[in-house]
């Protein structure tokens, strides 16, 4: 799109949405280098493409706008802005959509993620990561430093800022106000926080269900469009190992933890359907540096593939309103479906079978009728967490 300031003539502008206010107000809200012309969003995209620019390969910080459904199309003003102006002028927050309205428009950009362990380039804006001190959070945090403009890291245990792009917050996800405050200026959210295994139901409801609700609500109130939720393979743990299980299969949780993750996915679906958020649920497999037991030969999720799935989910096209996929490595013995490209553009590369020689019992014939959850499906595993 046209650039009005010589100092910015060499910068590619990203189309960020539609605005309904006049040019003077627009310039004041976004800096002097915002551009606007009375044309439809589709026409603006065509003109930007004709300029030879690559709008999905520019590190922009972009905003989401909404307009009343009754407003004539001719009144909708496409907006483009460069990263420097956007970052330097906090007044843009006053132009975010009303907190009472659903998310509309788009500030998500899509990049192809290579199938070589997530080594492809993904250009992201500001990414918030809850549970950043956890095992998965620590691995993802390091990888996203090279992809995000800014990382907003949340955990209930204190975190140390390790890079210039990082911002750390000690936050209990049950504190809705604190979560909303930490999400200010965020473009997308990776929600990893919560209890990671079986526990008393009351604790799981607070940490996993209430915590997820607060994350989604904070995203809605801040105008954040994309939220990636960490679900679990344990939502379908009672399917037999001989059944190739996919997101289309009804849930069969193997314990109270699995029940809490079913609720997490349901909340994600609700916020996608009712409020227009774009939500992707990753049913995490067995995250380990290397597989160490026979079950892992089917369920292992390597650190490299973890990063690949996360990057693909954060960068998925905004047309993805809601999706649930199994995040598992390309294990020869897996009993979960890998995501179709239309669901998530990532192909895992690691296979637990390469470690089978070092796993005791790896070559013992498996019982195809046994539950996929293995020991997690036994009554004893849950009973020890219940009141005597």
Cα–Cα distance measured from residue 114 to residue 236, given in angstroms and rounded to the nearest whole number = 28
Cα–Cα distance measured from residue 33 to residue 30, given in angstroms and rounded to the nearest whole number = 8
Total number of residues shown for the chain:
388
Cα–Cα distance measured from residue 336 to residue 232, given in angstroms and rounded to the nearest whole number = 12
Whether the CB-CB separation of 8 and 34 falls below 8 Å is answered with no
- Nearest 5°: CA angle at 265, between 259 and 268? 145
109, two tokens: 């950009």
Cα–Cα distance measured from residue 48 to residue 50, given in angstroms and rounded to the nearest whole number = 5
Residues 6+ apart with CB under 8 A from 367: 241
Measured between alpha carbons, how far is residue 216 from residues 57, 225, 336, 371 in Å? 28, 10, 27, 32
Whether the CB-CB separation of 82 and 122 falls below 8 Å is answered with no
Catalytic residue, chosen from 36, 257, 271, 346, is: 257
Query: Is 257 part of the annotated catalytic residue set?
Result: yes
Which H/E stretch holds residue 220? helix 211-221
* Segment 372-375 long-range contacts (CB within 8 Å, at least 24 positions apart): 372/233, 372/236, 372/237, 372/238, 372/239, 372/240, 372/241, 372/243, 372/245, 372/254, 372/298, 372/299, 372/335, 373/233, 373/234, 373/237, 373/238, 373/254, 373/255, 373/258, 374/295
Whether the CB-CB separation of 77 and 1 falls below 8 Å is answered with no
Give the three-class secondary structure for 190: strand
Catalytic residue positions, numbered: 257
């Amino acid at each position: 799109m046209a650039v009005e300031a010589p100092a910015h003539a060499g910068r590619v502008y990203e189309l960020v949405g539609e605005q309904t206010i006049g040019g003077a107000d627009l310039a004041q809200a976004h800096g002097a280098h915002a551009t606007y012309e009375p044309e439809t969003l589709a026409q603006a995209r065509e003109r930007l493409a004709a300029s030879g620019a690559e709008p999905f390969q520019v590190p922009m910080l972009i905003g989401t706008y909404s307009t009343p459904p009754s407003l004539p199309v001719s009144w909708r003003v496409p907006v483009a802005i460069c990263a420097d102006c956007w970052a330097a002028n906090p007044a843009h927050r006053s132009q975010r959509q009303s907190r009472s309205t659903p998310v509309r428009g788009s500030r998500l950009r899509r990049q192809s993620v290579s199938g070589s362990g997530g080594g492809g380039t993904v250009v992201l804006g500001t990414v918030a990561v809850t549970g950043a001190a956890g095992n998965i959070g620590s691995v993802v945090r390091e990888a996203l430093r090279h992809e995000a403009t800014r990382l907003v890291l949340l955990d209930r245990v204190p975190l140390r800022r390790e890079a210039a792009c990082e911002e750390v917050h000690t936050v209990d996800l049950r504190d809705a106000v604190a979560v909303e405050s930490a999400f200010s200026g965020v473009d997308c959210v990776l929600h990893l926080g919560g209890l990671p295994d079986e526990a008393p139901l009351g604790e799981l409801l607070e940490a996993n269900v209430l915590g997820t609700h607060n994350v989604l609500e904070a995203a809605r109130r801040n105008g954040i469009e994309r939220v990636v939720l960490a679900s679990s393979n344990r939502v379908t743990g009672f399917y037999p190992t001989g059944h190739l299980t996919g997101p289309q299969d009804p849930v069969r949780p193997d314990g109270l933890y699995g029940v809490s993750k079913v609720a997490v996915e349901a909340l994600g679906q609700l916020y996608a359907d009712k409020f227009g958020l774009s939500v992707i649920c990753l049913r995490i497999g067995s995250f380990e540096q290397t597989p160490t037991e026979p079950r892992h030969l089917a369920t292992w999720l390597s650190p490299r593939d973890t990063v690949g799935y996360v990057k693909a989910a954060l960068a998925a096209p905004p047309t993805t309103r809601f999706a649930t996929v199994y995040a598992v490595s390309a294990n020869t013995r897996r009993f979960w479906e890998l995501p179709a490209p239309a669901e998530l553009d990532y192909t895992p590369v690691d296979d637990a079978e390469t470690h089978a020689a070092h796993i005791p019992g790896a070559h013992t014939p498996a019982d195809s009728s046994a539950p996929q959850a293995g020991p997690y499906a036994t009554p004893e595993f849950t009973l020890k967490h219940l009141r005597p």
